[in-house]
Amino acid sequence: MAISSEVKIISGLEIFSGLIYLIYFSAFYSPIFLIMSIISFIIAFGLLRLYKWAWFLCLIISLFGVISGILITIIEWYYIAISAFPKIIIDIMVILMLLSKDIRKEFKI
């Protein structure tokens, strides 16, 4: 079965998120960023293989990313908000694509 371009885009965004977490890890040396980076790469692999668990995990982590990004923006308005906006937008794009009818049909959800 051929993989649609939407799934490839979502996988690419997950890989991009994983790279962002690696940059955060190199800056702050927090193991949570390394763990999130590994999880993002695993999700991207699972999405390319059309695994249902990858769809659910991607949706959950993206929802968490939007909620935490909004909360961080509210609490620390200026300094962190500038770096949080692109991640919030990427997570919203991923959620909207994951919930589209074509993607759910492809993952048989």
Give the per-residue pLDDT at 79.
64
User: What mean pLDDT comes out for the span 58-84?
Assistant: 81
Tell whether the model's pLDDT for residue 76 goes beyond 80. no
In the predicted model, what is the mean pLDDT of the chain?
87
Residue 1: pLDDT band with limits 50, 70, 90: low
Residue 86: pLDDT band with limits 50, 70, 90: confident
User: Residue 58: which domain range?
Assistant: 5-106
Inter-axis angle of helices 79-98 and 52-75, nearest 10: 150
Tell whether the model's pLDDT for residue 25 goes beyond 90. no
Exposed, middle or buried, 40 (CB in 10 Å: 0-12/13-18/19+)?
A: buried
Residue 95: pLDDT band with limits 50, 70, 90: very high
**pTM exceeds 0.75:** yes
Number of domains in the chain: 1
Give me the amino acid identity at 64: F
**Dist. CA 23–CA 21, nearest whole Å:** 5
Give the per-residue pLDDT at 31.
86
Give the per-residue pLDDT at 109.
87
